[in-house]
Chain A
Amino acid sequence: MTVTHKLTFPLNDPAAILALRAGDEVVVQGHVIGIRDRTQIRIFDQGIEPPIDLTGALLLHTAPNVRKLGPGRYEKLCIGTTTSARMVRFTEGLGERYGVRAICGKGGFPDQAIEPMQRLGMVYLAIVGGAAALETTQIEEIEDVAWEDLMPECLWKFRVKDFGPLTVGIDAHGNSLYHDVQNRARQRLEQLSARL
């Protein structure tokens, strides 16, 4: 049976990450850090240190729609999640160099994320893609933002309440729902093709 975990991020207890199993439900409190393609290209390809601490963080793949209130201050309008697969290559660096514990996105990571996540004690948390109206209500406030020149692909710090439900897509034990679902689907594809 699946379990529901209530976690607060940043989270620096490795045991709490190891307690998560692929398929489990997770609801998050505390802080979530918003990032996207260009944010990570700046960190890793251009070698610029992120000005917001990522230790123990839960990252969210997003490009939020916001309204500017004043210098460095933004109001949320509509915040949703983007497809993760494009950003899989940053997984290892995020865990190894910055101590990121969890990555939340939609659509999953391909198999190349499984090994680094297991080695570094990280998880992939699947959100329901497109469910932005709900997600926006779960983000209480935009507390901080860096790299505004990348708008909307800045580095965002959100305070969240009851963020979820998320599903553990890849756990820190080498299990991936995406891998399993693909494997089963490919077998079924063969059976179905034989029946055509």
Chain B
Amino acid sequence: MLGAAASLYVWALRDLPRDLREALAGALERETSVTGIRVLETIHRNVEVADTERNLVCQDTGIAVYYCRVGERFPLHPAGIERALKAGTERATVEHPLRSNTVHTLTRESTGANVGYRVPIVHWEFVPGWDGLDVKCVPKGSGSENMSFLKMLVPADGVNGIKRFVLESIVEAGGKPCPPGIVGIGIGGSADYALHLAKEAIARPIGTRNPDPLVAQLEDELYGLLNETGIGPMGLGGDVTVLQCHIEHADTHMTLNPVAVNYQCWAARRTSAHIGADGAVDYDRDF
């Protein structure tokens, strides 16, 4: 379990998932601006160099975020899973060695090898009756995480208010979050839950659609609108501003209409593993 966590983190930092590589290739085909093509070609060269030199895709090893889907009958208690994820993150950082980013939020002093109080961040979902575990590792860089936005719209602002806020946020972000990336949107729930959902949305395989057809339609529409802003690769202008737009939603209070935006840069790193009740680890990236 500890070894699996360490591998997931380093693997994510070195090797981009196939779905993302395809999205980046598609972006280069669509882009027409000179600067945009230059940026996208450089990104492709960089991904190749990371593969051949076995170096990291991006220097920002991020803050490690894990999503766990735990079966009710999985033999290791979540407290043990969390301990293993933390120890694995630390081991990967020390052994590779990776840049450590974690600091105390007030003193700004380092708290260790990419670990600290409540870090890495672990999210949980529990599956009744099942005996397995799915773990997804998403190292989240600060350049894109700094471009996070929340607005408590009123119900009368409606769906158009949501669209407008998302568009404004991405224009405001400009080149800072290393576009083109994945725009994650969380709508409904409460303030904190909307932000949580937005982060869950960036962690989905790229181009997947929300099972609710109304929400999926909004994903398609916003994807189109965002690419009409002209922000372009690295904010230097161009046709491809975002690779995708993913939305997660929750039902909400009748007088609430929260919308949250979380940005994931072009280096949208993501790895996952399935762990059986017998401890066998199966690495893949299908969730």
Measured CB to CB, the nearest residue on chain A to B57 is A133
Pairwise interchain contact A181-B266, C-beta atoms closer than 8 A: no
A181–B230 contact, CB under 8 A?
A: yes
Taking the closest CB of chain A, its distance from the CB of B94, in whole angstroms, is: 13
Chain A contacts for B97, CB-based, 8 A: 65, 67, 77
Q: How many chain B residues touch the partner (CB < 8 A)?
A: 48
Smallest CB-CB separation from A66: which chain B residue?
B99
| Interchain CB contact under 8 A, A169 and B236 | yes
Is A100 located at the chain interface by the 8 A CB criterion?
no
A165–B98 alpha-carbon span in the complex (Å): 26
Pairwise interchain contact A129-B178, C-beta atoms closer than 8 A: yes
Interface of B is mostly: loop
State whether A188 touches B229 (Cβ < 8 A). yes
**CB-CB < 8 A to A184: which residues of B?**
230, 237
Contacts of A42 in B (CB 8 A): none
CA distance A165 to B163 in the complex (A): 35
**Docked CA distance A192–B230 (Å):** 12
B167 partner, pick from A80, A180, A193, beta carbons under 8 A:
A193
Structural contact, A178 and B235, CB atoms closer than 8 A: yes
Q: Decide if A186 is an interface residue (CB 8 Å cutoff).
A: yes
In the bound complex, do residue A128 and residue B43 qualify as a contact, i.e. CB atoms below 8 Å apart? yes
B260 at the interface (CB under 8 A from A): no
Task: Say whether A99 faces chain B, with CB atoms less than 8 Å apart.
Answer: no
Chain A 156-190: CB-based contact to B (< 8 A → 1; otherwise 0): 00000000010101000000011011101110110
Contacts A23-B35, A131-B46, A181-B174 given; indicate if A126 touches B236 (C-beta within 8 A): yes
* Residues in A whose Cβ lies below 8 Å from that of B98: 65
Specify which of A2, A67, A186, A189 lies most central, judged by the most chain B CB atoms within 10 Å of its CB. Answer: A189
Chain B residue nearest to A131 in the complex (CB): B46
Q: Are B174 and A129 in contact (CB-based, < 8 A)?
A: no
Contacts A23-B34, A106-B143, A196-B160; A134 near B46 (Cβ below 8 A): yes
Q: Does A8 contact B (CB under 8 A)?
A: no
B88-111, CB under 8 A of A: which get 1 and which 0? 000000000111000000000000
Contact with A along B29-49 (1 / 0, CB 8 A): 000001100110011011101
Inter-chain contact A130/B58, CB cutoff 8 Å: yes
Known A65-B59, A80-B58, A182-B174: A133·B234 in contact at CB below 8 Å: no
A30 at the interface (CB under 8 A from B): no
Residues of A bordering B, CB below 8 Å: 2, 23, 25, 62-65, 67, 77-83, 85, 106-108, 126, 128-137, 152, 165, 167, 169, 177-178, 180-182, 184-186, 188-189, 192-193, 196
Q: List 24 A-B contacts (CB under 8 A).
A: A63-B59, A63-B99, A65-B99, A79-B59, A82-B60, A107-B143, A108-B235, A128-B39, A128-B43, A130-B265, A130-B267, A132-B55, A133-B53, A135-B46, A135-B59, A177-B237, A180-B237, A181-B231, A181-B232, A185-B231, A189-B167, A189-B168, A189-B171, A196-B163
Name B residues whose Cβ lies closer than 8 Å to a Cβ of A: 34-35, 38-39, 42-43, 45-47, 49-50, 53, 55-60, 97-99, 141, 143, 146, 160, 163-164, 167-168, 171, 174-178, 225, 228-232, 234-237, 265-267
